[in-house]
Structure 1
Amino acid sequence: MNEDLTAEILRNALCVAAEEASIVVVRSAYSTFIVEGADAAAAVLDARGRLIAHSTSTAIIQCASLRSALPFVIRQFPLDAMRPGDVYLTNDVYRGGIHANDLLVFRPVFVDGAARYFTGTLIHVADLSGISAGGMASDATDVFLEGVQLPPVKIATAGGLVDDLVRLLAANSRTPDRLTGDLRALIAGANVAARRLEELIDDRFEAGVEEYLRHTEERMRASLREIPDGRYEGEYTLDDGLTVRVAVTLDGGSAEIDFEGTDEQVALPVNSGFSQTLGGVMYAIRCYVDPGLPLNEGCFAPLEVRLPAGTLVHCTPPFPGGGRFGTVAAAEEAIFAALTLALPGRGVAASGILQGFSVSGAARPWLHMSFDLGGMGASADRDGPDATGALFGGGRNIIPQVEPIEARLPVRIEAVELIPGSGGAGEHRGGLGTRTVLRMLEDARIDTRGDRLHRPPPGAAGGEPGRAGGYFRERLDGVREPLGTKATRQPLQAGEAFILETSGGGGYGPPSRRSEAARAKDIADGRTT
C-alpha cells in the first residue's frame, strides 16, 4: 500500500478512536449537562505524556488537560507496576487537572507486556461536594471549599471498579447516582478507545505515530514563520481588577509565551490551574496558524510557555482554581492583543465570555448546571458572531437544549434570545449577547459565576464596548433585581424567575464609518433598535 495513504489512514484512525471515546462518554453519562450538552473530551497519549490525538468536536480549551495530568499519574503509578485493566482517576488542579468536578480518567494500553500508550477521557460531573452544588463555589477562598480533591488514584482493575473508592466518592456527592453513572461512562469511553488502539498497533505503528507528530510540528512551525519575528506584549484586566500580562516572542518558527508580570494568585475562585491556561494559549495561537492542523503534540512542540507559579495563570496550594475561565479568557485576549501588534489589520475587539450558573433544589436534591455565551468581538474586516463563546475554545454545542431540561427538572425555560443592541458599535459591530429566562417550579438556590460584567468587553481601534450582561432575579411581584456576578446559594421561590444576560462583544473601528447598508440591515434583522 502507498506509504502516504497508509499514514493518512493511521492519522484518521487515531482521531476516530479519540472521537468515538468522547461520544461513548456522552451517550453513557447520567448528568443532563453531559448528555445534552456534550461537555466531554478524550485523547490518545503515549507513555512519555505526549498527545497523539484529541477528540475534535469538543472544546479546544481542554486540549492540554489530559496531556498535562498524565505525567503526574505515571509519577504516582510507575509504568512497570501497571497491569492490563488498570484505570486511573484524578481531578487535582495542581497536577494538571481543572477543578473538583472535572474528572480525568486514564487507561494504559500495553505492547509486548509494557504500558506504552494511554487513552484518556474527561467530563464535568454534576457534583463532587464543595460549598455549593455543582462546584460553582463563587465565594471559595481555598481549594477545599471547591470539592473533593483527588490526587492520582486507581479507580478500576481487571476485576472491576474499586468499590471502596466509588462509595467514598458517592458519599461526597449531592447526586450520587449521577456521579457513579458518569464515572462509569468515563471508564467506558477510555475502554473503547483502548480497544481501537489495540486493533491498530502493529510493527509499523510506533514509526507511524512519530511521523504523524513530526509532520504536524513541521506545519505548525511553518505557520509560525508567517508571523513576523519579534517580541510583542499584551494584557487584559478582569472584573476584579486583576491583570493577566503576556509577552509573545516569535523566532524562526518557534514561539515563547511568557506570562511574567501577571498579578499574583488571590484567595478568590478566579485563579487558573496551569493546564487550563496552557489550553487557552493553544486556542489563541491556533487562531493565527493553519486551521487544518490536527491537534496533537506537534502543535505544542514549537511553543515554550512560561506560567509563573503562584500567579493567576498557575495557582498553587491552597488557592482555589475553579473559577479559571475568566482568567483563561484574559490570557487569550492578552495574546490576541500582542499578536495584533505583529499582524496589523488582524486585530479583534474583546468578546463576551461564558457565564456559568447552577440551580439546585432547596427541598429535595436536583441540580441543573449550565452557562450561556457572550457575543464575539468584531474584527478588522467583519462583525462579531452572536452568542458564540469564542474564547471557550470551539467545539460542538455545549448549551443543553430546552426540552430535555424541562423534562428532567422542575424549571420552565421561558426565553432564550439575542439582546438587540448588545454588540458594541463600530465600523464593524460586536456580536450580540443573549438573555435566558428560567422560571422555578419549586423553591431553589442559584449560584453564579461570571466576568466582563463590571468591565464590559472593550472595543478596538475606536469601536465601542459591548453591553454588559448580568444575573437577575424576577420576584413574584414582577420586580427585577440584580444578583451578584459571583453569588452563591441565593434563594429563589417557586414562581420566581432567574434571568441570565451575557455581554455583547466589542465593536471595531469608529461607528461613524459603518455603512448605511449595514445599519439598515441591523435594524431589519432586529440586531439594533
Structure 2
Amino acid sequence: MSRAVHSEIQLQVMWSRLISVVEEQAQTLIRTAFSTATREAGDLSAGVFDVEGRMLAQAVTGTPGHVNSMAKSVSHFLARFPAATMKPGDVFITNDPWMGTGHLNDVVVVTPVFLDGRPVAHFAATVHIVDIGGRNTAIESRQVYEEGLNIPISRIVDGGAIVEPLFELISVNVRDPVAVRGDLYSLIASNEAGGRQLLGLMREYGLANLDEIGGFIFARSHEASLAAIAALPKGTWRHSLTADGVDRPIRLEAALTVTEDAILVDFAGTDGPSPYAVNVPICYTEAYASFGVKCIVAPTVPNNAASLATIRVTAPADSILNVQRPAPVVSRHILGQLLPDLVIGCLAQVPGLAVPAESASPLWPIVLSGGPGRVDATAEELRGATSFIVASFHNGGTGARPRADGLSATAFPSGVRNVPVEITETITPVVFRRKEYLVDSGGAGRQRGGLGQVIEIENGEGKPFAINAAYDRTVYGPRGRDGGAEGRRGLLRLDDGTVLRSKGNQTIPAGRRLILEMPGGGGHGDPAGRDPAKIRDDLRDGFISAEAARADYGYEGEG
C-alpha cells in the first residue's frame, strides 16, 4: 500500500486536510452535544495524535485550557493501556484532573484508530460536563473528593460494546444523567467521525502510517518555533500579578527566560495552595502559560507537540499552580486564565515586542440552580419550584492592544463564546432582564480597553434560586499598559444594592434579581493621546459617558 515519498506540496496539503479532519471532529461534538457549554459556547477540544501519543493537529474550535492540557493526556492513557493492549472498537475515558484538563467536570475520551488491523493514530476530545456530582463546582470544597465523581482511565467501549456498568455508575452519581450520558456519546461519536475521515485520507494518499506526515509536521513546526525564538533577545524577565483569592489575595510570580532554543517559564515565588477550590494542577498551568507565550511570540505557528515542546513551564510542587492531590481544583480556571496576562507582562519587557494590556481574563460562568435540595431555602419557599442546573459562559472586556482598542464582552484567553440568553431561558425558568455593555468599564488609554457587560437575571417562577460564583478581578482590576488606565473591576450584587461575594454558593431570595457587572479591559498608552474622533465615536455609541470623557481624556466636546 505504501507509495514513494510525497512531495512537500502534497505533505502540506495533507497537513491542511488533517486540520480539517479534526475540525470535523469538533463540529460533530457541537452538533451532538447535550450541554450548552459544548453546544453553544464551544467549550471543548479535539485533536489527532500519533501512535506514540504526540499531538499532530488540533481543531480550530476549542479552548487553550482543554487543547494544551489534553496534548499530554494521551500519554497518560497509553501508560495505563499500552497500544499493544488496544483493539479496534475500544474507547477510553477519564476526568482525572491531574491526567486530563484540570478539574472533574472536563471529560477526556481517547479512541485508537486502526488501519488493516494496525494502530495508526489516536483521536482525543474533551468537553465540559455541567454536573459531575459532588458539590457541583463549589469554591468551598476542601478536597477533590467533594467535587464529584472521579473516573480513572478506563475502557468505556470495549471492542465496540458499551461498558454499561461504567455508564450506570456515572449516571447514578450525577443530577442530570440524560445530559451527561448524551455528552459521553457525543465524545465517542466525534472521535469516530475523526477516525473515519483520517482513514479516508490515508487511503487516498496511500499511507500505511502517519510517520511521514507526522515527521513533516513536527519538523516544520519546530523550525518555525525556533526561528521565532531566535528573533528575540536572550535574557530573563520577571512579572507578578495579584488575584482576589477567597480568604486572602493570591500572589502569582513568573520568570520568563529566552534561551537559544526554548522559552522557559518558571512560577517559583508564587503563593502556596489554597484551602479552597482555586488551586491549579500543573497540566492546566502549562496549558495557559504556553498559550500566553504563543500569542505573542509565535501566533501563526500551528499548535502541536513540536511547537509546544519549545515552551517549558515549571512551578514548585508546593505552589498553588502545581497543586498536589487531593487538593480541591474545581475552579482552577480563575488562576489558570490569569496566566496569559502574567507571562505577557514578562514579554512586555522584552525589547521589540508590543503586547496588549491586561484583560478581564477569567471567565464569568453563570452557574445557576433551582428547586428542592439545590437552594438554601425552606421547603415552603421552594414548593412548586422547577429543579434545574445550568451553566452559561460570559466574560468582560479584553485589554487594549498597541494599535487597537480592546474587544468588548469577549472571552480571552479561553476563547469560548457567550451563550445566548435565549438558550438558558428555554431550558430553565430563568429570565434575563438585561444584557448590555457596561458603560465606562473599559480602561482609558490611547487605545481603550474593551467593555465589560452587565447581566440582570431573575427566576421567572418567583422562587429563590442559587448562583455558584467563581469570579475574579473584583478587587484587583485588569491593569493598563504604557500609561493606560485600569479596567473597571467586576461586581456581583442584587437589585436592592446588596453586594454578594465574588466566590461561593449564594441564594437569590424570591422576588430579587441578580446583577453581574463584568470587568473591563485595561487601557493602552496615555489617554491624552487618544484620537478625539474615537472619543466622539465612543460617546455616540454609549461606550463612555460625557463625565468620563472629561475626567479621563480631558474632552470637552460633544458626542
Over residues 30-57 of structure 1, what are the superposed CA-to-partner deviations in whole Å (9 max), with x where a residue is unaligned?
A: 1223222222211101232211111112
Partner of 1:6: 10
Partner of 2:537: 521
2:176 is the alignment partner of 1:171: no
Partner of 2:299: 291
- Matched-pair contact (CA < 8 Å) for 2:90–2:160: no
- Matched-pair contact (CA < 8 Å) for 1:235–1:333: no
Larger radius of gyration: 2
What SS does the aligned partner of 1:277 have? Answer: helix
- TM-score norm. by structure 2 comes to 0.89
Unaligned runs of 5+ in 1: none
- Matched-pair contact (CA < 8 Å) for 1:362–1:445: no
Over residues 85-135 of structure 1, what are the superposed CA-to-partner deviations in whole Å (9 max), with x where a residue is unaligned?
A: 111111111223321111000011235644342101110112111213xxx
CA gap 1:222/1:191 in 2 versus in 1, 3 angstroms: same
The match for 2:504 among 487, 496, 499 is 487
2:44 is the alignment partner of 1:44: no
2:255 is the alignment partner of 1:247: yes
Cα distance, 1:15 vs structure 2: 1.0
Equivalent residues in 2 for 1:52-451, closer than 5 Å:
52-111=56-115, 113-132=117-136, 136-201=137-202, 202-203=207-208, 205-240=210-245, 241-343=249-351, 346-353=354-361, 354-363=363-372, 364-392=386-414, 394=415, 397-442=416-461, 443=463, 444-451=465-472
What SS does the aligned partner of 1:33 have? Answer: helix
- Matched-pair contact (CA < 8 Å) for 2:25–2:190: yes
Unaligned runs of 5+ in 2: 373-385, 546-559
Amino acid at match of 2:429: P
- Matched-pair contact (CA < 8 Å) for 1:345–1:380: no
Partner of 1:511: 527
Cα distance, 1:151 vs structure 2: 1.8
CA gap 1:482/1:176 in 2 versus in 1, 3 angstroms: same
CA distance in 2, matches of 1:384, 1:514: 14
Cα distance, 1:446 vs structure 2: 1.4
Partner of 2:552: none
- Matched-pair contact (CA < 8 Å) for 1:33–1:368: no
CA gap 1:391/1:33 in 2 versus in 1, 3 angstroms: closer
What SS does the aligned partner of 2:468 have? Answer: strand
Amino acid at match of 2:213: G
- Matched-pair contact (CA < 8 Å) for 1:457–1:505: yes
Amino acid at match of 2:500: L
Amino acid at match of 2:531: S
Partner of 1:500: 516
- Matched-pair contact (CA < 8 Å) for 2:36–2:392: no
What SS does the aligned partner of 1:524 have? Answer: helix
Partner of 1:454: 475
What SS does the aligned partner of 1:85 have? Answer: coil
Amino acid at match of 1:181: G
The match for 2:37 among 14, 30, 33 is 33
CA distance in 1, matches of 2:253, 2:294: 19
Partner of 1:20: 24
CA gap 1:216/1:344 in 2 versus in 1, 3 angstroms: closer
Over residues 369-411 of structure 1, what are the superposed CA-to-partner deviations in whole Å (9 max), with x where a residue is unaligned?
A: 023111111233332221222222x3xx522212222222211
Over residues 214-257 of structure 1, what are the superposed CA-to-partner deviations in whole Å (9 max), with x where a residue is unaligned?
A: 11111111112222111111121111221221111112242112
Matched residues, number: 518
What SS does the aligned partner of 1:372 have? Answer: coil
Amino acid at match of 2:74: L
- Matched-pair contact (CA < 8 Å) for 1:269–1:320: yes
- TM-score norm. by structure 1 comes to 0.93
CA distance in 1, matches of 2:511, 2:187: 37
Cα distance, 1:26 vs structure 2: 1.4
**Higher RCO by CA contacts (8 Å cutoff, separation 6 or greater):** 1
Amino acid at match of 2:122: F
What SS does the aligned partner of 1:305 have? Answer: strand
Cα distance, 1:194 vs structure 2: 1.6
CA gap 1:339/1:35 in 2 versus in 1, 3 angstroms: same
CA distance in 2, matches of 1:65, 1:417: 33
What SS does the aligned partner of 1:37 have? Answer: coil
- Matched-pair contact (CA < 8 Å) for 2:347–2:353: no
- Matched-pair contact (CA < 8 Å) for 1:453–1:503: yes
- Matched-pair contact (CA < 8 Å) for 1:235–1:330: no
What SS does the aligned partner of 1:312 have? Answer: coil
What SS does the aligned partner of 2:17 have? Answer: helix
Amino acid at match of 1:343: P
Over residues 438-497 of structure 1, what are the superposed CA-to-partner deviations in whole Å (9 max), with x where a residue is unaligned?
A: 2212332211110111111122223221111122223xxxx2322210021x22345432
Which range moves more in the overlay, 273-282 or 161-170?
273-282
Amino acid at match of 2:14: L
CA distance in 2, matches of 1:97, 1:400: 22
CA gap 1:81/1:315 in 2 versus in 1, 3 angstroms: same
CA distance in 2, matches of 1:345, 1:224: 12
- The RMSD of aligned alpha carbons is 1.9
- Matched-pair contact (CA < 8 Å) for 1:440–1:493: no
Amino acid at match of 2:64: I
Amino acid at match of 2:470: R
Cα distance, 1:309 vs structure 2: 2.0
CA distance in 2, matches of 1:413, 1:34: 21
Over residues 285-314 of structure 1, what are the superposed CA-to-partner deviations in whole Å (9 max), with x where a residue is unaligned?
A: 122234332221121122222232232222
CA distance in 2, matches of 1:348, 1:267: 33
Amino acid at match of 1:273: P
Over residues 158-212 of structure 1, what are the superposed CA-to-partner deviations in whole Å (9 max), with x where a residue is unaligned?
A: 2421111111101111111101011111111111112222223323632112111
CA gap 1:116/1:352 in 2 versus in 1, 3 angstroms: same
Cα distance, 1:516 vs structure 2: 2.7
CA distance in 2, matches of 1:495, 1:169: 36
Amino acid at match of 1:512: A
- Matched-pair contact (CA < 8 Å) for 1:441–1:494: no
What SS does the aligned partner of 2:178 have? Answer: helix
Amino acid at match of 2:501: G
- Matched-pair contact (CA < 8 Å) for 2:296–2:355: no
